[in-house]
Structure 1
Amino acid sequence: MANGTNNRRAGRIYVKVDGQQYDAKGDFTYNLGADKRDAIVGADGIHGYKETPQIPFIEGAFTDAPDLDLQKLAEGDNLTVTLELVNGKTIVLSNAWFAGEGGVTTGEGEISVRFESRKPAQEQK
């Protein structure tokens, strides 16, 4: 294409925790942590909205590996988690902690992971 626009929007991802790349599996979800707005409705109409905080997070699954230390991962605190997307964006969650349950399925060695933070996640392009 003449303008250099990339048509690829989704697919391959890379996940790193404190610089160590893990085997990401399936879909990951994230929330930057922006305030959620909910309408305030009165008997006479819409009065406005209220804002409530949301938890910034990155969530998905890793495939277990011989060198993956699940106990260390599950005890993780003050972590930097990056989610690199094929569309050129990188989501960075800093000062994060492991908020998953630490369960593993043996059929495919799948570990559900969730990382949360008090600080909003940063979207870099």
Structure 2
Amino acid sequence: MSTPNRRAGRIFFKVDGAQQDAKGSFTYNIGADKRDAIVGADGVHGYGTTVQVPFIEGAITDRKDLDLETFVNLDGVTVTLEIANGKTFILRDAWYANEGSVTTEAGEIPVRFEGLSGEEMK
């Protein structure tokens, strides 16, 4: 069923095709250059660019079959985030880039994957 007006809601977070138990809000960045203004005493001169790392960041729910040590050592994986508005963000050649902490009250693991390239598919 097509939902042309849906903008937010259910998401699916996968690491090398294995779906994780995504919680709440996720953030992603395609890794496009960031533009930084160059300002002189006489005004704005233009901008320079700095490289940004593409990433996906959010939280998942811990579960009995999740091996945390293996998870936090992931490297060279493909990570996808399927969003309710029909877009999919693909992070390639990615590695786990967070602490590996777990909160026991909610069984929550903050996750961040960074990679060599990110692409938003529509």
Instruction: Tell me which residue corresponds to 2:60.
Output: 62
Equivalent position of 1:116 in the other structure: 114
* Partner residue of 1:19 out of 14, 17, 20: 17
Alpha-carbon deviation of 1:5? 6.5
Paired with 2:113 and 2:21, the residues of 1 have a C-alpha distance of 16
Partner of 2:35: 37
Pairs aligned (count): 121
Aligned to 2:104: 106
Equivalent of residue 83 in structure 1, options 76, 81, 84: 81
Distance apart, 1:6 and its partner CA:
1.1
CA distance in 2 between partners of 1:5 and 1:66 (Å) = 34
Quote how far apart the aligned CAs of 1:66 are. 1.1
Of all paired residues, the percent bearing the same amino acid is 65
Q: Provide the C-alpha distance between the structure 2 equivalents of 1:18 and 1:12, rounded to a whole number of angstroms.
A: 20
Question: What TM-score do the two structures reach when normalised by structure 2?
Answer: 0.96
SS at match of 1:10: coil
* Distance in 2, Cα, partners of 1:73 & 1:16: 12
Match of 2:26 among 11, 25, 28: 28
In 2 relative to 1, CA 64–5 (structure 1 residues): closer, same or farther, beyond 3 Å? Answer: closer
Which ranges in structure 2 are unaligned for 5 or more consecutive residues?
A: none
Aligned residue number for residue 95 of structure 2: 97
Given residue 123 of structure 1, which amino acid in structure 2 is its aligned partner? E
Letter in 2 for 1:82: T
TM-score, normalised relative to structure 1? 0.94
